[in-house]
Chain A
Amino acid sequence: MASIVPISLTVGANRIVPAVAIPHPLGNPALPEDEERELRLNLVKKALRALQTEVEKQTVFEE
Chain B
Amino acid sequence: MAKRKYKVVHYLNQFYAGIGGEEKADIPPLMKEGAVGPGKPLQQALGEQGEIVATVACGDSYFAENIEAAAEGVVEPVSRYKPDVFVAGPAFNAGRYGIACGASCAAVSKKLGIPVVTAMYKENPALELYRKEVYIIPTADSVRGMAEAIPKMASFVRKLGLGQEVGLPEEEGYFPRGIRVNQFVSRTGAERAVDMLVSKLRGEQFQTEYPMPTFERVPPSPGVKELQSATIALVTSGGIVPLGNPDRIEAASASKFAEYNIAGVYDLTPDAYQTCHGGYDPVYANRDPDRVLPLDAMRALEKDGTIGKLFDRYYVTVGNATSIANAQRFGKVIAEKLKAADVDGVILTST
Residues of A near any B CB (own CB < 8 A): 1-4, 6-8, 10-15, 19, 21-27, 29, 37, 40-41, 43-45, 47-48, 51-59
Contact = CB atoms under 8 A, between A and B. Distances in A.
Nearest to A47: B347
Nearest to A14: B220
A15 B221 CA distance: 9
Nearest to B61: A22
A54 B222 CA distance: 6
A6 B297 contact: no
B218 A26 contact: no
Given A10-B215, A45-B306, A55-B220, A22 B297 contact: no
Contact of A44 (B65, B67, B301): B301
A45 B232 CA distance: 12
27 contacts: A1-B347, A2-B349, A2-B350, A3-B351, A4-B95, A6-B67, A7-B125, A12-B218, A21-B65, A22-B64, A22-B65, A22-B96, A22-B280, A23-B280, A23-B351, A24-B284, A24-B291, A25-B292, A25-B351, A27-B291, A29-B288, A37-B297, A41-B297, A45-B306, A54-B223, A57-B220, A58-B220
B168 to A, nearest CB: 25
B288 A4 contact: no
B333 interface: no
B128 interface: yes
Interface of B: 61, 64-65, 67, 95-96, 99, 125, 128-129, 215-225, 227, 232, 238, 280-285, 287-288, 290-294, 296-298, 300-301, 306-307, 324, 345-351
Contacts, number: 132
Given A1-B349, A6-B67, 15 more contacts: A1-B347, A1-B350, A6-B125, A11-B324, A12-B216, A14-B218, A14-B221, A22-B96, A26-B297, A43-B297, A45-B301, A48-B232, A52-B224, A52-B225, A55-B223
A10 B65 contact: no
Nearest to A13: B348
A51 B223 contact: yes
A51 B290 CA distance: 20
Contacts of A4: 64-65, 95-96, 99
B96 A24 contact: no
B46 to A, nearest CB: 32
Nearest to A44: B297
B283 A23 contact: yes
A44 B298 contact: yes
Please give me the 3 A-B residue pairs with the lowest Cβ-Cβ distance, nearest first: A27-B291, A14-B220, A24-B291
Contacts of A6: 67, 99, 125, 129
B294 A12 contact: no
Most buried by B among A19, A26, A48: A26
Contact of B301 (A15, A21, A25, A41): A41
A22 B294 contact: no
Nearest to A37: B296
B284 to A, nearest CB: 4
Nearest to B215: A12
Nearest to B220: A14
Contacts of B349: 1-2, 19, 25-26
Most buried by A among B222, B347, B348: B347
B223 A23 contact: no
A27 B296 CA distance: 12
Contacts of B294: 26, 40, 43-44
Contacts of B288: 27, 29
Given A10-B125, A24-B291, A51 B284 contact: no
Given A2-B350, A51-B224, A54-B222, A27 B290 contact: yes
